[in-house]
A and B are shown apart, each in its own frame.
Chain A
Amino acid sequence: MVVRDIIEILKGEIICEGDLNQEIKTACGSDMMSDVLAFVKDQSVLLTGLVNPQVVRTAEMMDMACIVFVRGKDPDESIVSLAQSRDITLIKTRYRMFTACGLLYSNGLSGGTEV
């Protein structure tokens, strides 16, 4: 799966375009950035309902290529410009967290961990 596929599956809208052909192996969904930093390993997409610049910074530290904002949330300009400078793709989807994660999972994307 690549970033472009995620956009299609989630009927998403691109807010900030990075490398859309970047391969995505695993994903995680969380509104708690501390948990993302604690439990995630080698995951390349973050689904979140949290909208602030620290979401982008968390993705940056974790080498994530793509952030999906669920429930149709709109990041502001400061978030978009931060993502641009870090070459991170931002996507917005109207799906809620559970549904968005489920759609990606049923299309073959896993969490990358056993439990």
Chain B
Amino acid sequence: MSNAIHLHYEVSGDDFTRAGEASGAVKKRLKSLGYNSDAIRRVAIAMYEAEINMVIHANGGFCDVDIYPDKVEILLADNGPGIADVDKAMQEGYSTAPDNVRNLGFGAGMGLPNIKKYTDEMRIETTLGVGTKLYLTVIVRE
């Protein structure tokens, strides 16, 4: 199978309870395709953190997922405020999330560091006032 499987999801920005729908769907799809569980978990966690970020900070956006035999590529794009200081955002414990988000169990400043930890490649394109694009690659087979 040489062609990638392409999946597209819209992420609603006003419904925190639905954040994670896209990640859950991708996880299910990868499972049905027979990828190993460790790789599936890495994809799911990275994408889930990014989806949560999108809902918390950027009023939603979309995800494009391309599944190849040896890797999964994910683009998460939003039209949010952008990230003012990417280096700071990459530090564990640094967060700009408001208190109401912390009450929901997030906003510990672990989002981007977690995403980096679980992916093989991570690239951020961000412009203040325009939005953020996050490109992730997870190698799924040796």
Contact = CB atoms under 8 A, between A and B. Distances in A.
Contacts of B114: 34, 37-38
Contact of A38 (B27, B48, B104, B110): B110
The B contact surface, by secondary structure, is helix
Contacts, number: 70
Interface centre among A52, A55, A57, A58 (most CB of B within 10 A): A57
B17 A78 contact: yes
Contacts of B41: 61-63
Interface in A57-95: 57-58, 60-63, 78, 86
A58 B114 CA distance: 13
A62 B45 contact: yes
Contact of B20 (A35, A38, A54): A54
B130 interface: no
A86 B44 CA distance: 14
Q: Which of A32, A35, A52, A61 gathers the greatest number of chain B CB atoms within 10 Å?
A: A61
Interface of B: 16-17, 19-20, 23-24, 27, 37, 41, 44-45, 48-49, 52, 104-111, 113-114, 117
